[in-house]
Amino acid sequence: MSNLSLDKSKSRVIVIGAGIGGLTAGALLAHKGYSVLILDQALVPGGCASTFKRSGFTFDVGATQVAGLEPGGIHHRIFSELAIDLPEATPCDPACAVYLPGEVTPINVWRDPEKWQAERQRQFPGSEPFWQLMATLFAASWEFQGRDPVLPPRNLWDLWQLAQAVRPSTLITVPFTLFTVGDALRLYGLGSDQRLRTFLDLQLKLYSQVNADETALLYAATALSVSQLPQGLFHLQGSMQVLSDRLVEALERDGGKLLMRHTVEHIKVESGKATAVVIRNQKTGEVWTEATDHVVANVAVQNLVQLLGQAPPGYKHRVEKLPQASGAFVVYLGVDASAIPPECPPHLQFMYDANGPIGENNSLFVSVSHPGDGRAPDGKATIIASSFVDPAPWWSTDNYSLLKQKYTDEAIARLAQYFYLKPETIIHQEAATPRTFAHYTARDRGIVGGIGQRIPTFGPFGFANRTPINHLWLVGDSTHPGEGTAGVSYSALTVVRQIEALK
Ligand SMILES: Cc1cc2nc3c(=O)[nH]c(=O)nc-3n(C[C@H](O)[C@H](O)[C@H](O)COP(=O)(O)OP(=O)(O)OC[C@H]3O[C@@H](n4cnc5c(N)ncnc54)[C@H](O)[C@@H]3O)c2cc1C
């Protein structure tokens, strides 16, 4: 509508989606003087990193822990550039307590590197050479990443950014480009260490969506090392929503606009260039076309193809050929504090049947609130347990409610092996399935987390921020998968630099 129109005296940017990727890109561009309009179909910004409130509890929808808050970390860098305060946060230590099938004491992934080294040497005797390789590759990859390479490059400018980030120290990673974690385990004679493999499968699946045999080694080096100092994982004070709220503040301070409950239905392309989007106001049903100089799509790449209608055939084909992405099943519990065992770590991971799958409730990633963190009233707590699931059955079943109830009961029964969960301690319970995620985040079939980090789709072989259509940019976890809010912020930063380079 004309009263919502962008300021034509400036370069105009429409951002589709107010996830952390879209908000970060929008806030940075507004700060640099662009006329920015962010549209989101949901009620609240933040997408998979937003929250909802029930019976006095605040639940984080998806993301519960944050990387990149340390000095030099990606959120830290972006918040400094935007001159907004970083949210208050406590470091997670251990980052995770992992319970393998049939075991009653956890493997604690400590924040202190030496403590973690001692723990893993005790837990997995003989595996240290593998971990040392991971540490070496991580050090080189992290420095490389810190120099803001553009990966994968799609034109000469991108290639130049990539070349400038390479140093002699980066070259150590090159021979391992086509290695999986499974290959590295075999290299060190650890291929048949089932316990180590289960631990790695569990931890890697959280990030890469695939197990150790399939996960690209260079990707795994970061995923397995980022929870130790000087990096680390953090639990935000208040809730995850604070991250989005701060970005919205910066956006609006710098003249940008955010419209919730507005769905982008189509991206218009003329002569190979994105020129406008078709917007539907969900409250009034009004539909209009808004012209723009750039479109930043903070959507899954599968959604991007749908929004284009006529996507370039090669791009469309590549998206259609992607292996099935994961969905998530999440149980949100508001409980009496007596349900939580003493000294309970903030994040735990459980696997139940050693022969069962990773995911599908056979493994649960659990986040527990702590007193005073803003998520539960005094004397109460929140428990959020998630599991990767195949989204397909959730769409094909003719008894969705029954399937949801079955998963909910099963997850609570499994959680009750650790927490004291009885009718008298559970105050609120609720679950989200791929259908729920599709509804609230508009992600195709409710897929989450991005694209599995196998060799053909990781880093240099992944989806680029630069799409085959001029002035159409992709931000979010399809381009930086599995690294959560930190990864999508990095994707936003790259797009902002690419747009700026066109000036
Ligand atoms: C269960 C679960 C647990 C997780 N745990 C962690 C964790 O602990 N730490 C971590 O860092 N990450 C975690 N993640 C991942 C993290 O939440 C995501 O990677 C990240 O938040 C994705 O951000 P995004 O900006 O790419 O997209 P999204 O969060 O998906 O945001 C996209 C936004 O676009 C909007 N949108 C989509 N299509 C349209 C359209 N056509 N028109 C208008 N609006 C549209 C949606 O409403 C949504 O708000 C978890 C994810 C899940 C599901």
Look at residues 420, 444, 468 and tell me which one is the last residue of a structural domain.
444
Using CA atoms in the order 313, 319, 320, 321, what is the torsion angle rounded to 10 degrees? 110
- Mean pLDDT value across residues 116-137: 97
Answer for the pair 362, 312: CB distance below 8 angstroms, yes or no.
no
Answer for the pair 384, 376: CB distance below 8 angstroms, yes or no.
no
Do the domain assignments include residue 283?
A: yes
Number of the ligand 1 atom closest to the C-alpha atom of 20: 25
- The whole domain housing 350 covers 326-444
* Tens-digit pLDDT profile for residues 246-271: 999 999 999 999 999 999 999 999 99
Query: Binning pLDDT at 50, 70 and 90, where does residue 2 land?
Result: very low
443 lines ligand 1 (CB under 6 A): yes
In 188-285, which ranges are continuous DSSP H helix?
A: 194-208, 217-225, 241-253
* Tens-digit pLDDT profile for residues 50-75: 999 999 999 999 999 999 999 999 99
303 lines ligand 1 (CB under 6 A): yes
- Coil, helix or strand for 36? strand
Inform me whether the pLDDT recorded for 4 exceeds 70: no
Question: What are the residues whose beta carbons fall under 8 Å from the beta carbon of 473, sequence distance 6 or more?
Answer: 25, 294, 295, 296, 297, 465, 466, 467, 495, 498, 499
From 14, 40, 48, 60, mutation site for ligand 1 pocket: most ligand atoms within 8 A of C-beta: 48
Whether residue 252 is found in the same domain as residue 334:
no
Inform me whether the pLDDT recorded for 5 exceeds 80: no
Do the domain assignments include residue 99?
A: no
Look at residues 199, 226, 253 and tell me which one is the last residue of a structural domain.
226
- Mean pLDDT value across residues 277-281: 98
Q: If you measure from the C-alpha of residue 114 to the centroid of ligand 1, how many angstroms do you get, rounded to a whole number? A: 34
Inform me whether the pLDDT recorded for 405 exceeds 80: yes
Whether residue 331 is found in the same domain as residue 283:
no
Q: What is the C-alpha R_g of the chain?
A: 22
Look at residues 226, 256, 274 and tell me which one is the last residue of a structural domain.
226
Whether residue 337 is found in the same domain as residue 427:
yes
298 lines ligand 1 (CB under 6 A): yes
- Mean pLDDT value across residues 103-111: 97
Inform me whether the pLDDT recorded for 419 exceeds 50: yes
Nearest Cα residue to atom 16 of ligand 1: 484
- Mean pLDDT value across residues 375-402: 97
For residue 467, what is the enclosing H or E element?
Answer: none
Do the domain assignments include residue 104?
A: no
- Mean pLDDT value across residues 125-150: 95
20 lines ligand 1 (CB under 6 A): yes
* Tens-digit pLDDT profile for residues 294-311: 999 999 999 999 999 999
Q: Give the C-alpha separation, 94 to 110, whole Å.
A: 4
Answer for the pair 17, 297: CB distance below 8 angstroms, yes or no.
yes
Whether residue 334 is found in the same domain as residue 365:
yes
Q: If you measure from the C-alpha of residue 450 to the centroid of ligand 1, how many angstroms do you get, rounded to a whole number? A: 9
Whether residue 421 is found in the same domain as residue 348:
yes
Query: What's the total number of domains in the chain?
Result: 3
Tally of CB atoms within 10 A around 70: 16
pLDDT value of residue 425: 98
Q: If you measure from the C-alpha of residue 125 to the centroid of ligand 1, how many angstroms do you get, rounded to a whole number? A: 38
Do the domain assignments include residue 108?
A: no
Whether residue 293 is found in the same domain as residue 215:
no
pLDDT above 90 covers a percentage of the chain that reads 92
168-196: b (≥16 Cβ within 10 Å) or e: eeeeebeebeebbbbbbbeebebeebeeb
* Tens-digit pLDDT profile for residues 225-247: 999 999 999 999 999 999 999 99
39 lines ligand 1 (CB under 6 A): yes
Ranking 21-25, 268-272, 318-322, 479-483 by mean pLDDT, the lowest is 479-483
Q: Which residue is associated with the tokens 């994040």?
A: 347
Do the domain assignments include residue 232?
A: no
Whether residue 313 is found in the same domain as residue 345:
no
Do the domain assignments include residue 94?
A: no
Angle at 180 between CA 177 and CA 186, to 5 degrees: 120
Whether residue 334 is found in the same domain as residue 280:
no
41 lines ligand 1 (CB under 6 A): yes
Q: If you measure from the C-alpha of residue 188 to the centroid of ligand 1, how many angstroms do you get, rounded to a whole number? A: 37
Q: Give the C-alpha separation, 417 to 383, whole Å.
A: 14
48 lines ligand 1 (CB under 6 A): yes
Phi, psi of 80 (to 5 degrees): -65, -45
Do the domain assignments include residue 107?
A: no
Whether residue 332 is found in the same domain as residue 438:
yes
Mean pLDDT across the chain: 95
Answer for the pair 496, 475: CB distance below 8 angstroms, yes or no.
no
Ranking 360-369, 412-421, 475-484 by mean pLDDT, the lowest is 475-484
pLDDT value of residue 209: 86
* Tens-digit pLDDT profile for residues 383-392: 999 999 999 9
Inform me whether the pLDDT recorded for 194 exceeds 50: yes
Residue among 19, 81, 14, 11 at smallest CA distance from 443: 19
Ranking 77-86, 224-233, 455-464 by mean pLDDT, the lowest is 455-464
* Tens-digit pLDDT profile for residues 423-439: 999 999 999 999 999 99
Number of the ligand 1 atom closest to the C-alpha atom of 23: 25
The domain spanning residue 481 has which CATH number?
3.50.50.60
Inform me whether the pLDDT recorded for 97 exceeds 50: yes
Inform me whether the pLDDT recorded for 3 exceeds 70: no
Answer for the pair 231, 148: CB distance below 8 angstroms, yes or no.
no
DSSP, residue by residue, 407-441: HHHHHHHHHTTTS---TTTEEEEEEE-HHHHHHHH
Whether residue 72 is found in the same domain as residue 41:
yes
18 lines ligand 1 (CB under 6 A): yes
Whether residue 263 is found in the same domain as residue 183:
no
Nearest Cα residue to atom 36 of ligand 1: 17
Q: If you measure from the C-alpha of residue 19 to the centroid of ligand 1, how many angstroms do you get, rounded to a whole number? A: 5
Whether residue 417 is found in the same domain as residue 432:
yes
From 15, 69, 74, 298, mutation site for ligand 1 pocket: most ligand atoms within 8 A of C-beta: 298
Do the domain assignments include residue 98?
A: no
